[in-house]
Amino acid sequence: MLLNFKKKRAKLQAYTWFGLPLVVIGGWFYPKLGFFLLACMIGAVGIAFYKGRAWCDWMCPRGSFYDLFLQKISRNKGIPAFFRKRGVRIFMLSMLLSVLGIQVYFAWGNIDGIGMAMVKLLTITTAIGIILGIVYQHRIWCHICPMGTISNWMSEGKHPLNISEMCVDCKVCSKVCPMQLKPYQYKEQGVMGDNDCVKCSTCTVACPKKALNFEKEIKKAA
Ligand code: SF4
Ligand code: SF4
């Protein structure tokens, strides 16, 4: 069942992953492709209004690329707590948006120049994401991605993952979670309290007790 689910998710990701090499490689020859990054930023924030970080599941080309390819060569270690610190995320967000803003300012009026600024930003951050992804875990970038951080801040209460008291703390959910989150830790609250959940549903399928779901009504333990 989990295998079938993973295949279905990979099929969805197959529709989007190529957007990443298209811009990171093609953008150096045709800079206007850089505006694709702007479309992704708008998409991520737009989705976050009503579904939290769901964009990061399969709609984000970079997230899909990391899941489909980087995962195969990653050492798959634990993501260091450092990368999830609020201060680190705010630093990454302000630094990367400032760098982009300054480049766009100097290229103002030149469409190719603005596109190239976005191509450069995407290329550099993707390279960082790949290196970190190989050394640690394939989705580590998603914890410091500026759009991921903004979506995280908008995610509170949006399409939450429910955790019922049927949970037996086997921790299978955290082992299969691409974001290395720990749904079982929120059993008492009954709702996932980690806004980095990308709503991928992998844990709901993997849970042997069917204790997780995205429906409004959760089954109560008999
Ligand atoms: S996989 Fe299910 S039963 Fe196991 S810890 Fe997670 S929520 Fe609880
Ligand atoms: S907690 Fe579950 S739904 Fe959320 S990202 Fe992890 S596996 Fe996906």
Give the SS3 label for residue 213.
strand
CB of 177 within 6 A of ligand 2: the answer is yes
Question: How far, in Å, are 137, 173, 188, 203 from residue 170 at the CA level?
Answer: 22, 8, 15, 12
Distance, in Å, from the CA atom of 210 to the CA atom of 199, rounded to the nearest integer, reads 16
CB of 201 within 6 A of ligand 2: the answer is yes
Question: What ranges in 25-180 are assigned the alpha helix state H?
Answer: 35-51, 61-65, 71-73, 86-106, 111-135, 146-154, 172-176
Structure tokens at 96: 């990367």
Report the share of the chain in percent with pLDDT over 70.
97
Q: Tell how far the Cα of 170 is from the centroid of ligand 1, in angstroms.
A: 5
Q: Which atom of ligand 1 is nearest to the CA of 168?
A: 3
Q: Which of 141, 5, 173 is nearest to 65 (CA)?
A: 141
Spatial CB neighbours of 113, under 8 Å, sequence gap ≥ 6: 31, 106, 107
CB of 162 within 6 A of ligand 2: the answer is no
Nearest residue by C-alpha to atom 8 in ligand 1: 167
In this prediction, residue 216 carries a pLDDT of 58
pLDDT tens-place string over residues 133-171: 999 999 999 999 999 999 999 999 899 999 999 999 999
Residue 8 has pLDDT above 80, yes or no: yes
Ligand 1 site: residues with CB under 6 angstroms? 163, 167-173, 183-184, 207, 209, 211-212
Nearest residue by C-alpha to atom 2 in ligand 2: 203
As beta bridge partners, residue 191 has 162
In this prediction, residue 215 carries a pLDDT of 77
Q: Which of 221, 117, 123, 124 is nearest to 163 (CA)?
A: 221
Pocket probe for ligand 1: among 1, 162, 163, 167, the residue whose CB has the most ligand atoms within 8 Å is 167
pLDDT tens-place string over residues 33-44: 999 999 999 999
> What are the chain's domains?
2-154 (no CATH), 160-222 (3.30.70.20)
pLDDT tens-place string over residues 59-91: 999 999 999 999 999 999 999 999 999 999 999
**Greatest alpha-carbon span in the chain:** 65
